[in-house]
Amino acid sequence: MSAPRTLLASARKQLEEAGVASPDADAAILLAHVLDTDRNRLFLVDDVAEHHEKAYARLLARRAEREPLQHLTGVAYFRHVELAVGPGVFVPRPETELLAGWAIDQAATTDRPVIVDLCTGSGAIAKSIADEVPGADVHAVELSDDAYAWAVRNLSGTGVDLRQGDMADAFPDLDGTVDVLVCNPPYIPLEAWESVAAEARDHDPDLALFSGQDGLDAIRVLERRAAELLRPGGVVGFEHADEQGPDGQNGGAPAVFSGTGRWNDVRDHRDLAGRPRFTTAQLAT
């Protein structure tokens, strides 16, 4: 048997040498997972049994190979909800919580708002909205068979209207009625493949990552579909890469909307690190 402190120190070094971005947190989360406890309660553990040590070592080896932490634990946390995740679905990122928060704030200003989440993936944004805006009429769509299966699992019992299909023609029955449309589309340029973190490049589905030579193909589709789905005065918000902010090439992602003449109040928003992260706009009346 070994003391948790000893195991964590060794694990941190192993993960740090492997290039894991958060070795301390990941080491603690994995040990807590093996011991079926909370990471904040690890200090209450005196010794780790040998069979738990072996299980921990196996998980550490997989994490050192840059398998996503959430695939190892099977869980991702997003705002106030818990999501089941694994191979075949994009693991939701903390930065996207800001976009979800914007959508929730917008929805909260309307009685029984109609909200659409395109490219829902695991269902993270849709589930958060359903959780935080009681009475909202929430709809979500996902194209990938694998990701759709995860979304079915995560959105079961939430009341979200989940459908499988392409965002380009999703929800024709809702045209002109949507109050808030939100989307975390694929936005990585194909040429940027090698620069993507190993966890995403090797484990997140390509469909959720890459979107043409400049990374804006899906956002162009989003602009057209949002103009059809939203009611006059309705709002849309979508995530983009930090290089695709308003100072990016040809005005970046915001220019996809501002250049059409269909939108008012096109704004870009920064994440907690000060990087351009998501754009919002209002359909002209």
- What's the pLDDT at 82? 97
Dihedrals phi, psi of 50, to nearest 5 degrees: -60, -40
Task: Please state which architecture CATH assigns to domain 88-283.
Answer: 3-Layer(aba) Sandwich (3.40)
| Residue whose tokens read 């917008």 | 106
Q: Which residues are annotated as a binding site?
A: 142, 184-187
- What's the pLDDT at 106? 97
Residues of the chain predicted below pLDDT 50: none
- What's the pLDDT at 3? 83
What CATH number should be reported for the domain whose range is 4-65? 1.10.8
- What's the pLDDT at 245? 85
Domain ranges in the chain?
Answer: 4-65, 88-283
Tokens of 22: 């958060």
- What's the pLDDT at 102? 98
Beta pairing partners, 280:
237, 267
- What's the pLDDT at 95? 93
Q: What pTM was estimated for this model as a whole?
A: 0.91
Model confidence pLDDT, tens digit, residues 182-240: 999 998 888 776 777 788 888 888 888 888 888 999 999 999 999 999 999 999 999 99
- What's the pLDDT at 38? 87
Q: Which residues are annotated as a binding site for S-adenosyl-L-methionine?
A: 142, 184
Q: Which residues are annotated as a binding site for substrate?
A: 184-187
88-283 matches 4-65 in CATH topology = no
Q: Where are the alpha helices (DSSP H) in 145-216?
A: 145-155, 198-203
